[in-house]
Amino acid sequence: MRGSRFAFGPFVLDSGAGTLLRNDDPVAVGHRGLKLLAALVGRPGEILGKAELMDAAWPGTAVEEGNLTVQIALLRKLLGPAADGGQWISTIPRVGYRFAGAVERLGGARREPLPLPDKPSIAVLPFVNVSNDSEQESFADGLTEDLITDLSRVSGLFVIARNSAFAYKGKAMDVRAIAEDLGVRYLLEGSARRAAGRVRINAQLVDAMSGDHLWGERFDRSLDDIFVVQDEVTGKIVEALLGRLRTPPPRNRPKNLEAYDLCVRARKVMDDSPQMAQEAHLMLRRAVSLDPEYAEAYRWLAINHWMGWVHSGGPTEANRSIALELARKAVALDPNDAGCRWVLAYLLAYERNFAEADAEFAKAIELDPNEADTWAALSDITVLAGRVEEGLDHIRKAFRLNPFPASWYYLTLGQAQYAAGEYEAAVETLRQDETYRTSSRRFLAASLAQLGRLDEARAEVELFLVGNPHFTIRHWATTEPFRHAATLEHFVDGFRKAGLPE
């Protein structure tokens, strides 16, 4: 999708590119400042509360209100006075701030169209919940996600990942524009209604190039038949696009619909914040208690434990052990699920069980070559193994399958670019709005240091250490799954130049 550009006075703010120009000259403004300015300029004349602004600049992070005051003061200093001598940003006492200047919204910078793959390519757009019950939203989302997974496992198709498909949820856009954004020819769209023990699903397959409807059907069934309907929809689409039915290995389906709903809801919020990750944990625990053989719930519970380990600032033996046990359980319950396989592979790599990890990654790709998360996770492990160009290829493939991914893809890409010595590219990647994870700043600082931009590097180190106060190079080097000494030394060299603690 396209970033927003705004003009005010002599300035042009490009929120997508993360740049601020004054009379076409770049203005050195920090990442948080850009986020705050974008929030204010995007709604000129409106009062934005302090909490809303802090959430815009520090998403998912608890920070002191003084940080906001400091950033607003820096912005005022950088912008200088407005043409009338007043301030661009007005303070509303005890409430928040307002952008006081006139703003012109410019056309967003258009991305280069993605080339179509050499096989039938499709995106499943989020199914619309047409029931009167907002609680059924997760059901429609789960249906969409399952159809993406089912189609993704067909080797003759190219299927856009969930994260990118859901970027269009609730947005009214022309199908041709969506297909162009995602680089696909076909779109599946539809609606779902669940009530009184029954489900009604409308689905249609559209050729975005011609606008033709290739297939459409309405299903009105008992709720108990929901997964049968999903299989039917998948089969119809595959038949329409490939001319014959290619049936992938059967999936482990949940036996309890409440467990299914809990799993869908949990995976939507578990990456939002530590608090939401805890809420997701409770939902997933409830799901596995309701359906002890539901493989996907164990998979997401494994990731939830892994995230708890990462967010805590360092590994704990309990979380590592539990996450690995849960991932093994998921694979045992559903050996044909690529998602379960790559999660197990990733955790095995961190245990330095590299032979088994490599085998699990290979099996995941064999089962589902369209699983973008597999390629992104494999990129991380491959780069640390010293096969940097191969790792770059993997993360590029992940981005092609998932053009609007989660923020950890950008961290992985930035890490790979640093390892390849592409420091300018790494800085550009790690300074994008999408890369908000505090942990990515260590790679940004190292890249800046290798470019000789030491003041910027040390500023990033300070910000990184706010969220990671116990970080040391020595500890990091022993916990990351390196298996190539020269690659490890390259990272350590950048960290030292940036001023990270030994």
* pLDDT tens profile 78-133: 898 887 788 899 998 888 899 988 888 775 545 567 889 999 999 999 998 887 77
pLDDT in tens, 348-389: 999 999 999 999 999 999 999 999 999 999 999 999 999 999
Based on the structure, what is the number of domains in the chain? Answer: 3
Residue 14 and residue 48 in one domain: yes
Among the three residues 242, 277, 311, which one is the final residue of a domain in this structure?
A: 242
- 116 lies in some domain: no
- 36 lies in some domain: yes
CA distances from 382 to 199, 363, 491 (A): 44, 16, 15
Residue 229 and residue 267 in one domain: no
Which pLDDT value is given to residue 160?
96
Arithmetic mean of pLDDT over the chain: 86
Question: Is residue 236 predicted with pLDDT exceeding 90?
Answer: no
Question: Among 3-17, 27-41, 216-230, which stretch is predicted with the lowest mean pLDDT?
Answer: 3-17
Task: Name the pLDDT band for 2 (thresholds 50, 70, 90).
Answer: very low
Torsion angle, alpha carbons of 232, 235, 237, 238, to 10 = 170
Residue 150 and residue 100 in one domain: no
Task: Name the pLDDT band for 245 (thresholds 50, 70, 90).
Answer: low
Question: Among 94-103, 237-246, 482-491, which stretch is predicted with the lowest mean pLDDT?
Answer: 237-246
Which residues span the domain enclosing 92? 5-106
Residue 382 and residue 443 in one domain: yes
Overall average pLDDT of the 184-196 stretch = 89
Question: Is residue 168 predicted with pLDDT exceeding 90?
Answer: no
Question: Is residue 25 predicted with pLDDT exceeding 90?
Answer: no
Question: Is residue 247 predicted with pLDDT exceeding 70?
Answer: no
Question: Is residue 273 predicted with pLDDT exceeding 80?
Answer: no
pLDDT in tens, 389-417: 999 999 999 999 999 888 889 999 999 99
Residue 184 and residue 229 in one domain: yes
Among the three residues 210, 242, 274, which one is the final residue of a domain in this structure?
A: 242
Question: Is residue 468 predicted with pLDDT exceeding 80?
Answer: yes
Question: Among 127-136, 206-215, 242-251, 441-450, which stretch is predicted with the lowest mean pLDDT?
Answer: 242-251
Q: Which CATH number is 178's domain given?
A: 3.40.50.10610
Neighbour-count burial of 245, counting CB atoms closer than 10 A to its CB (0-12 exposed, 13-18 middle, 19+ buried): exposed
Which pLDDT value is given to residue 481?
94
- 148 lies in some domain: yes
Question: Is residue 313 predicted with pLDDT exceeding 50?
Answer: no
Does residue 117 sit in helix, strand or coil?
coil
To the nearest whole percent, how much of the chain has pLDDT over 70?
91
Overall average pLDDT of the 171-194 stretch = 87
Which pLDDT value is given to residue 224?
83
Among the three residues 242, 267, 288, which one is the final residue of a domain in this structure?
A: 242
CB 268 within 8 A of CB 279: no
Nearest CA among 284, 235, 227 for reference residue 254: 227
Residue 208 and residue 277 in one domain: no
To the nearest whole percent, how much of the chain has pLDDT over 90?
44
- 252 lies in some domain: no
Which pLDDT value is given to residue 438?
65
Residue 186 and residue 284 in one domain: no
Overall average pLDDT of the 239-245 stretch = 76
Which pLDDT value is given to residue 398?
95
Residue 430 and residue 349 in one domain: yes
Task: Name the pLDDT band for 433 (thresholds 50, 70, 90).
Answer: low
- 114 lies in some domain: no
Question: Among 104-108, 163-167, 277-281, which stretch is predicted with the lowest mean pLDDT?
Answer: 104-108
**CA pair distance 400, 237, nearest whole angstrom:** 22
Which pLDDT value is given to residue 450?
97
- 57 lies in some domain: yes
Residue 203 and residue 261 in one domain: no
The total of other beta-carbon atoms located within 10 Å of residue 183's CB is 20
Sheet of 89-92, strand order: 47-49, 96-99, 89-92
Residue 382 and residue 483 in one domain: yes
Question: Is residue 30 predicted with pLDDT exceeding 80?
Answer: no
